[in-house]
Amino acid sequence: MTTLSKGVFRSDNEMKHILVFSAIMLIIGNANIATAGNWNSSSSEDKITSDDFFQTVQQHLSVQKIQKCVVKDNRELERNPNGYVVAPPKPYSSIDLTGQHQGQTDHFKNAELFAAYLHFNSSKFFFDDDNKKGAAAISLLVNWAENHAFDEVKGPKEWTSVSSNRYSTYIVIGSALNALFLLDNHPHLDKTRKAVIWDWLETLIDKSFIKKELPAGTAGFEDKEQRVNNHNATRNLLLALYAIHKNDKELLKQSNKRIMRSFNSVKNGVPYDANRGNWALNYTNLAVVSLTLHTKFYSLVAKDNALEKKVKIINQIAKFLFSETENPNQIHKFAKKMLADLRKSMTASRISGGIPTFILGV
């Protein structure tokens, strides 16, 4: 297994061998803005090296199953043998972030509980052949699908970011796509249940602008923010996951072009997300997670001409994140800009620590 030294990948070769899933291992961003659709970075055409994306990932997973990580400290597992989420979370079908509900975080908690429950049970099935846990994961997916979880999200009219409204939905989508890799061989995941789950996911993916660009004027600050920051990286990680499930080469290539906007927005290891006031390091962490996972997924099925550049940038962000988490000496000068200040409560007077425990689920 790849090891990190203060957040730095020690070699490109090691980068190629990092685990595919964050659930298992528990973003030409400086151009002037015109209209949505002209944000894709030009790059040389990468060669697709796999004819069947899904099976390539499954083969990679089979290796990971054999090469299990050694858990040095089992105390938490011994205290919580059934995981941290014992009961399956109930689905929210409609989320209202307007008026008196503005700023509520219940939907995030709901999405995170979904991710944690799904991750634990699907992983127990995949790694330990626990059919009961696998069945529990599938039941959760079907229940949320049948109840149209996260189908409708109402955001404040003053918000200029449809992506902000849907970030918790990203957690749900990513968790589900990841789990479907792990649960593929479970006897309960038949055609009927798969159809129910995929009908729901297709709706969420469409409403969350995963396959299409954010409309003009809806990408946050200067209509640029969510086209280069962690939102962009996360959406295009999800697009890559979707493309692998569907074996869609064009969508896979599109995800790579769009995520290059996030890579190209990083300056000396400092991503665009570092301007986010007292959440600067948290968002920096979210950015590097999605950038890293997309890089690994993409390199599994394509010859990535930008791999060396990507790994260098990931290393730089990781160094910045770990360094500033331990000794926040530089982050203040970036965070105080608050370029994406959607909430008056977001200030630069207090910088939240980095490396947060935030389960994206993919």
Q: How far apart are alpha carbons 349 and 139 in whole angstroms? A: 45
DSSP letter for 95, please. Answer: E
Burial of residue 290, with CB atoms counted within 10 A of its CB: 0-12 exposed, 13-18 middle, 19 or more buried: buried
Res 155: pLDDT: 81
- At residue 162, does pLDDT exceed 70? yes
Res 77: pLDDT: 58
Res 280: pLDDT: 84
Q: How far apart are alpha carbons 306 and 31 in whole angstroms? A: 20
What global pTM score does this model have? 0.81
DSSP letter for 222, please. Answer: G
Q: What is the pLDDT of residues 195-221, one digit of tens each?
A: 999 999 999 999 999 999 988 888 777
- At residue 354, does pLDDT exceed 80? no
CA neighbor of 122 nearest in space, from 108, 112, 136, 111: 136
C-beta separation of 314 from 295 below 8 A = yes
Residue with tokens 């959607």: 342
Q: What is the pLDDT of residues 237-255, one digit of tens each?
A: 999 999 999 999 999 999 9
Res 157: pLDDT: 74
Q: How far apart are alpha carbons 161 and 210 in whole angstroms? A: 14
Q: How far apart are alpha carbons 164 and 177 in whole angstroms? A: 21
Polymer length in residues for the chain: 362
Residue with tokens 């997924």: 297
Q: What is the pLDDT of residues 132-160, one digit of tens each?
A: 999 999 999 999 999 999 999 888 777 76
Q: What is the pLDDT of residues 254-307, one digit of tens each?
A: 999 999 999 999 999 999 888 877 778 888 999 999 999 999 999 999 999 999
Res 7: pLDDT: 32
